[in-house]
DNA sequence: TCACCCATGTAAAGTGTTACATGATTAG
DNA sequence: CTAATCATGTAACACTTTACATGGGTGA
């Protein structure tokens, strides 16, 4: 088994299919019509990605031939697929992802609740908050070291990043509150 | 001339070289040690990208052989390179970029001041602010339409996006203030 | 019948990732 | 002299992008 690697696009597709079975066309529409568009909306990426998932037996396809309907290949998640999705969702958060792959973390979070449950979601949020608190001082250090050498727009761009992470921190605190109260009321 | 396309990584390199001539190694260090890491820190991306820029005559390389120094290929921006950089920096901002490529916009902004001047930077900021104001209602619409169908974590992820754009808006207003006052004092 | 949307897919081309290769120079 | 760092690069591989291809169904 050489490459059992799943791309971010692959995980995004798994997550959407977990929420409800869907065709390639459905999935593509979600990408074009929602803020998930960052994860490729081109058929040349989606259809091959779906066939890879099928080859790995993470999804199965059933052709829906309802009368008066065009042929649709509807994809369903397999138990193995759900396992792979959960593994990704619950993977520990590293600082590198905080620094360079925030959107992917948010994508993971958006699927966590329905695929892995409240407890896993809370754990993610606490870990997310903790890593943000680790990373912010690092960023601020870089700022104080580099600000002098940079033009105003460069400094402002760095400040933009810092403000963004501070906003994440506030968001996380609020999200934790909501999930903590959800956990008590099953 | 078939493909005169420059990748984001290519523009990032042009922007850095514009600030000061640098070797591939220098540039790579900047990517690994600063929040610019999103734009690839691997030699297998950077060195080929630099050779492409050289082939397009956007940069020239001079081998620095100072005594006691390892051989360094230092890259300098050409006038054509500066033109290409400016074209990218001053390109009109589209909603698609606001929605899916914010980090690239911030990268552009960070170079604007030193490569295109105060006036161009102000213009960018005003356009950025305007497009944010256009996009936020779109996002909020999506939210009200989709929130009901989504689990809590999905809703929170969407809210995260909205809060992020609102933070951008505030940042932009502040940045405009700073540049507006800079414009008056030449 | 003609145009348009639904729905799935392929082909070529280029780029990035990962891992490896190479050699010079400085520090201990 | 050995290890670590500086510095540049290449090779294999898989992926995404862009553009095109195909065909069934629907509305005017």
pLDDT per residue over A101-140, tens digit each? 999 999 999 999 999 999 999 999 999 999 999 999 999 9
Q: Which two tokens stand for residue A146?
A: 């580099």
In sequence order, the 6+-apart residues with CB closer than 8 A to the CB of B165 are: B98, B132, B135, B136, B139
- Asked if the model's pLDDT at residue A69 lies above 80, the reply is no
* H runs (alpha helix) in chain A: 8-19, 24-33, 43-55, 79-89, 95-100, 102-146, 152-184
C-alpha separations of A159 from A69, A165, B181 in Å: 53, 10, 18
Q: How far apart are CA B127 and CA B109, in angstroms?
A: 12
pLDDT tier at A38, thresholds 50, 70, 90: confident
Return the closest-CA partner of residue A38 out of B101, B149, B71.
Answer: B101
pLDDT top residue among B11 and B64: B11
Q: What is the pLDDT of residue B2?
A: 40
Pick the most confident of A57-71, A171-185, B65-79, B152-166: B152-166
Is residue B68 predicted with pLDDT exceeding 90?
no
Asked if B109 lies within 8 A of A178 by C-beta distance, the reply is no
**Which residue from A minimizes the CA distance to B124?**
A153
Residues 6+ apart with CB under 8 A from A58: A6, A14, A77, A78, A80, A81, A84
Quote the crossing angle between the two packed helices A8-19 and A24-33, to the nearest 10°. 110
pLDDT of residue A23: 94
φ, ψ of residue A15 in degrees (nearest 5):
-60, -40
What pLDDT does residue B67 have?
56
Which residue, among A156, A173, A181, would best test binding to B if mutated, counting the most B CBs under 10 Å from its CB? A156
Asked if pLDDT for residue A159 goes beyond 60, the answer is: yes
The tens digit of pLDDT for each residue in B113-143 reads 999 999 999 999 999 999 999 999 999 999 9
Instruction: Supply the pLDDT for residue A1.
Output: 39
Task: Give strand letter and number of the nucleotide nearest B61 (CA to C1').
Answer: D8
Residue B3's pLDDT is what? 56
- Tell me how far apart the alpha carbons of residues B164 and A128 are, in angstroms, rounded to a whole number: 16
**Bigger pLDDT: B4 vs B96:** B96
CB A24 within 8 A of CB A47: yes
**In this model, does residue B25 exceed pLDDT 60?**
yes
Q: What mean pLDDT comes out for the span A12-34? A: 94
Global pTM exceeds 0.85:
yes
Query: In whole numbers, what is the pLDDT of chain B averaged over residues?
Result: 92
Contacts of B166 (CB under 8 A, 6+ apart): B136
SS3 B184: helix
Residues 98-137 in B contacting A (C-alpha not used; CB under 8 Å):
99-101, 106-107, 109-114, 121
Distance CA B104, CA A64 (A): 41
pLDDT at A184: 74
Separation CA B42–CA B48 (nearest Å): 10
Q: Binning pLDDT at 50, 70 and 90, where does residue A2 land?
A: very low
**Which band of pLDDT confidence, cut at 50, 70 and 90, is reported for residue A65?**
low
For position A3, what pLDDT does the model report? 58
Q: Which of B30, B153, B168 to mutate to probe the A interface, most A CBs <10 Å?
A: B153
Contact B74, B62 (CB under 8 A): yes
Which run of H or of E encompasses B91? Answer: none
Is the pLDDT at B65 greater than 70? The verdict is no
Identify the three-state secondary structure at position B63: strand
Q: What is the pLDDT of residue A37?
A: 81
Count other Cβ atoms within 10 Å, centred on residue B105. 18
Q: Does the CB of A44 sit below 7 A from strand D? A: yes
A185 vs A125: which has the higher pLDDT:
A125
A57 in Cβ contact with A80 (< 8 Å): yes
């Amino acid at each position: 088994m050489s490459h059992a690697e799943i791309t971010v696009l692959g995980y995004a597709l798994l997550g959407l299919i977990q929420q409800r079975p869907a065709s390639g066309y459905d999935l593509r529409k979600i990408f074009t019509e929602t803020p998930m568009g960052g994860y490729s909306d081109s058929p040349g990426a989606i259809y091959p990605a779906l066939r890879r998932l099928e080859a790995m037996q993470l999804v199965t396809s059933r052709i829906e031939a309802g009368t008066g309907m065009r042929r649709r290949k509807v994809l369903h998640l397999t138990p193995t697929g759900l396992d792979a999705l959960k593994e990704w969702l619950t993977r520990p958060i590293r600082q590198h992802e905080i620094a360079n792959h925030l959107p992917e973390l948010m994508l993971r979070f958006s699927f966590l609740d329905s695929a892995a449950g409240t407890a896993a979601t809370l754990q993610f949020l606490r870990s997310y908050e903790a890593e943000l608190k680790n990373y912010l001082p690092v960023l601020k250090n870089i700022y104080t070291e580099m600000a002098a050498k940079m033009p105003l727009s460069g400094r402002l761009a760095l400040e933009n990043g810092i403000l963004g992470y501070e906003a994440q921190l506030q968001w996380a605190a609020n999200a934790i509150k909501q999930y903590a109260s959800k956990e008590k009321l099953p």
